[in-house]
Amino acid sequence: MTEKAAPTPNLYLLTVLTDRESVQPQVNELLAATEARVVKWEDLGERQLTFKIAGRSSLRVQSVYFVLEDGQAVQEFKKKISQLDEVKRSLLTLWRDEPAKARSSRDRVGAKREA
């Protein structure tokens, strides 16, 4: 008899555009419902937009890294996050690097590319 290995948890990155000071409580509540583990929160501040979203020319950018095993729970979370009034736009991606090592593109400006 062969034992099945436990599924490897995936690390996700959720980035949201909001007109609120913080959506952390609302997003944390949704993540807790899916039994996700939050790794890191980032508030990147208010940013000027190239085009208006929800009638606004600037919105606050916030990101959260979280770990979740259940793929079905990810789909449900994605659906619920899009229904929050506070979230004007969101992007959910599977993250491949450690959040502590993650740097913004501004940190890499002028850096040489590794081959």
Q: 49 lies in a domain?
A: yes
Q: 110 lies in a domain?
A: no
What is residue 99's predicted lDDT score, i.e. its pLDDT? 56
Which CATH number does the domain housing residue 80 bear? 3.30.70.60
pTM over 0.85: no
Q: 4 lies in a domain?
A: no
88 or 4, higher pLDDT: 88
- Range of 58's domain? 14-97
CB neighbours (10 Å) of residue 7?
9
pLDDT at residue 46 greater than cutoff 90: yes
CB neighbours (10 Å) of residue 64?
22
3 or 114, higher pLDDT: 3
pLDDT at residue 11 greater than cutoff 70: yes
Q: 53 lies in a domain?
A: yes
Q: Is 14 exposed, middle or buried (0-12, 13-18, 19+ CB in 10 A)?
A: buried
pLDDT at residue 40 greater than cutoff 50: yes
CA distance 59 to 72: 30
> Cβ(77)–Cβ(34) under 8 Å?
yes
Please compute the mean of the pLDDT values over residues 25-35 and round it to a whole number.
93
Q: 8 lies in a domain?
A: no
Q: 72 lies in a domain?
A: yes
What is residue 115's predicted lDDT score, i.e. its pLDDT? 42
Domain count of the fold of the chain? 1
Q: 25 lies in a domain?
A: yes
CB neighbours (10 Å) of residue 65?
20
What is residue 2's predicted lDDT score, i.e. its pLDDT? 60
Q: 57 lies in a domain?
A: yes
